[in-house]
Amino acid sequence: MRNLRNIAVIAHVDHGKTTLVDELLKQSGTFSAHQAVDERVMDSNAIEKERGITILAKNTAIHYKDAKINIIDTPGHADFGGEVERVLKMVDGVLLLVDAQEGVMPQTKFVVKKALSLGLRPIVVINKIDKPAADPDRVINEIFDLFVALDANDAQLEFPVVYAAAINGYAKHHMDDPSENMIPLFEAILEHVPAPTGSIDNPLQLQVFTLDYDNYVGKIGIARIFNGTVKKNQTVMLAKADGERVSGRISKLIGFLGLVRTDIEEAHSGDIIAIAGFETLDVGDSIVDPNNPMPLDPLHIEEPTLTVVFGVNDSPLAGLEGKHVTSNKLSERLEAEMKTNIAMRYESIGEGRFKVSGRGELQITILAENMRREGFEMTLGRPEVIIKEEEGVKMEPYEHLVVDVPDEFTGAVIEKLGKRKAEMTAMNPTGDGQTRIEFEIPARGLIGFRSQFLTDTKGEGIMNHSFLEFRPYIGGVEHRTNGALVSMENGEALGYSLFNLQERGILFCGPQTKVYTGMIIGEHSRPNDLDVNPIKGKQLSNVRSSGADDAIKLVPPRLLNLERALEWIEEDELVEVTPKSIRVRKRYLDPTVRKRLARNAK
């Protein structure tokens, strides 16, 4: 009998999952002595490295004593909740990481609920105990209360606790133990995580939980073997979720150790491996013995809650910075994304426009960010929530929102959220001059709220939200209250004209920026849109001017990144995304067309 453990690391975003996996890899001797290793080595994608967040669930394996431990590092953001959910079906235990200062947060609740409902017994790791305001005892009480609220059974309530500071590379069973290394955590994993059930003598059963793509071998499914043995070149049957059966051969079998993927000849019950050979492979599909097919239950994947329309860039500056600008290229790229990204959908809606649905703004902006880095140009419309109908009732998604704000700003935040139809469910002072407030809010009310929230709390507020459920549609929700400053000329913006415009509102561009008719160059200080001329220069003559030349003092512009631009725009506006620039524009650039449409709307 092989000594094997399969665990997932789950936690709220930024509580230290990837750093903990780093330390386990280093201290188990998985890396050779001469190997140079990055920090947060599991975050392999460029955007993950830059932002310090995990986007894709990734797996690795380590050897400790005579045991092999398969570890899956999961994302903490609710937008990637689909990733976490599937991973939990593949493991026999979870490490639940909670920050010793922040305590239980919305994503913690989200992932714990999934883990408990699957009958997993978490090992609780109180991480970051080296923080000055850490309070491990309070956090353990919070976790116990959460487990009770989520109907945990007696065995789950008797959870083992390990205290750790992953960044410093130590874990311990009791707070007063010496701080040495991660051995207490390795021991806890071996002691409390059950070995995989299933037997190598049973017929083959294996289920795919995430996808990868390789230009040479095609689709790769990362899967767990629940029963039996699988060999390279073996003839097997693919059982799809819709009941379709396809016979085929496993062309490649890949095993994991540390960060290395190696070709292997065979794998057994309990292993987590990657397989290739089926072009139609999807997440949740089973691979079974053709002589005795017993497919596993397909995985339930939560529906997308948000859509954004991607379109061809048709602005006067189109094609100057990117190399992929046609609708065919956009369509191919979105099609390729859907091959590996199970939580997203897309459909063509004609005129070079594609409706992309996902779990949240972050998930969709990360796709757009990856595309612009690959040389694509496109336009994005305002995010819309997906409304569905159940028994004749219009239903919309609701979110559970938790904000941590300094005490003096609580009034402003509650007032703004009230206008967006949020209901307050709890309000607790956390000490240290902060208050934690919980709300239930329609997902529509959160679109465009983040930048407003950061302004109201002077950048000190923290907000987190996770999907709650679909509820009856609640009617209109307030959005942006200010209009836009819209350019009425093509050319380059000049400092002289921007200086005169800055008292009209907040500018989004500086001097020497290329502008065109219909491009939005700033936010108006009033509710209406204003057509302005940002390229007007000073009239120069050879007569000495009677007024002295005033020094031009320009306020630095508010530069929009992709998320802020998407949140800011209204229905009649678009974000133009190119590899070098992010611009905001009106959907219809011609001012006479806009005026005519505004008249017809009335």
- The radius of gyration of the chain's CA atoms, rounded to the nearest angstrom, is 27
Residue 376 lies in a domain: no
Name which of 363, 347, 307, 351 is nearest 326 in CA terms. 351
Reported confidence tier of residue 14, pLDDT bands at 50, 70, 90: low
Reported confidence tier of residue 52, pLDDT bands at 50, 70, 90: very low
- Amino acid identity for residue 12 in this structure: H
> Do 133 and 66 fall within a single domain?
yes
Q: Under the phi-then-psi rule, with left for phi > 0, alpha for psi from -120 to 50, and beta for the rest, what region is 404? A: beta
Residue 367 lies in a domain: no
What's the rounded mean pLDDT across residues 442-461?
81
pLDDT the model gives residue 585: 92
Of 24-33, 127-136, 138-147, 387-396, the one with minimum mean pLDDT is: 24-33
Q: Which two tokens stand for residue 183?
A: 């051995």
**Cα–Cα dist 329/237, whole Å:** 34
% of the chain with per-residue pLDDT over 70: 87
Boundary-marking domain end, from 243, 271, 288: 288
pLDDT the model gives residue 521: 92
DSSP output for 501-517: HGGGEEES--TT-EE-T
Residue 368 lies in a domain: no
491 close to 555: Cβ distance less than 8 angstroms:
no
> Do 281 and 177 fall within a single domain?
no
Reported confidence tier of residue 42, pLDDT bands at 50, 70, 90: very low
**Cα–Cα dist 403/407, whole Å:** 12
CATH number of the domain within which 404 lies? 3.30.70.240
- Amino acid identity for residue 216 in this structure: Y
- Helix (H) or strand (E) holding 425, with range, is strand 423-431
Q: DSSP 3-state assignment of 423?
A: strand
**Cα–Cα dist 432/47, whole Å:** 33
- Amino acid identity for residue 586 in this structure: K
pLDDT the model gives residue 550: 66
Q: Is pLDDT above 80 for 303?
A: no
Higher pLDDT, 182 or 485: 485
> Do 62 and 155 fall within a single domain?
yes
> Do 25 and 168 fall within a single domain?
yes
Residue 333 lies in a domain: no
CATH number of the domain within which 510 lies? 2.40.50.250
DSSP code, position 376: B
Q: For residue 13, give Cα distances in angstroms to 10, 56, 287.
A: 9, 13, 33
Reported confidence tier of residue 259, pLDDT bands at 50, 70, 90: low
pLDDT tens-digit profile of 466-481?
A: 777 888 888 777 677 8
Name which of 484, 489, 474, 520 is nearest 505 in CA terms. 484
pLDDT the model gives residue 555: 87
Q: Is pLDDT above 60 for 56?
A: no
> Do 183 and 57 fall within a single domain?
yes
99 close to 128: Cβ distance less than 8 angstroms:
yes
Q: DSSP 3-state assignment of 363?
A: helix
**Cα–Cα dist 415/413, whole Å:** 5
**Cα–Cα dist 193/61, whole Å:** 15
> What residue spans of 154-228 are helical by DSSP H?
154-157, 183-192
Name which of 209, 189, 272 is nearest 9 in CA terms. 189
Q: Is pLDDT above 50 for 581?
A: yes
Of 203-217, 429-443, 558-572, 574-588, the one with minimum mean pLDDT is: 203-217
Residue 366 lies in a domain: no
Give how many domains the chain has, as a whole number: 4
DSSP code, position 422: -
**Cα–Cα dist 77/79, whole Å:** 5
Q: Which two tokens stand for residue 19?
A: 């750093």
DSSP output for 265-309: SEEETT-EEEEE--TT--TT-EEE-TTS--PPPPPP-PPP-EEEE
> Do 499 and 461 fall within a single domain?
no
Q: Is pLDDT above 50 for 55?
A: no
> Do 63 and 152 fall within a single domain?
yes
Show the domain range for 258. Answer: 205-288
pLDDT the model gives residue 546: 53
Residue 151 lies in a domain: yes
Contacts of 102 (CB under 8 A, 6+ apart): 12, 15
pLDDT tens-digit profile of 532-572?
A: 999 888 777 666 655 556 677 888 888 888 888 888 888 88
Higher pLDDT, 90 or 309: 309
- Which residue ranges are tagged as binding site? 14-19, 127-130
> Do 226 and 153 fall within a single domain?
no
> Do 420 and 464 fall within a single domain?
yes
> Do 168 and 209 fall within a single domain?
no
**Which residue is associated with the tokens 């130590």?**
170
Q: Which two tokens stand for residue 190?
A: 């071996």
> Do 14 and 146 fall within a single domain?
yes
pLDDT the model gives residue 29: 63
> Do 130 and 185 fall within a single domain?
yes
Residue 45 lies in a domain: yes
**Cα–Cα dist 25/17, whole Å:** 13
Q: For residue 490, give Cα distances in angstroms to 316, 357, 407.
A: 9, 34, 47
Boundary-marking domain end, from 288, 318, 343: 288
Q: Is pLDDT above 80 for 218?
A: no
How many CA atoms are closer than 13 Å to the CA of 130, on its beta-carbon side? 11
- Which residue ranges are tagged as binding site for GTP? 14-19, 127-130
Contacts of 26 (CB under 8 A, 6+ apart): 37, 169
- Taking the model in full, what pTM does it have? 0.71
Higher pLDDT, 36 or 127: 127
Boundary-marking domain end, from 443, 472, 501: 472
Residue 425 lies in a domain: yes
CATH number of the domain within which 280 lies? 2.40.30.10
Q: Which two tokens stand for residue 257?
A: 């150790």
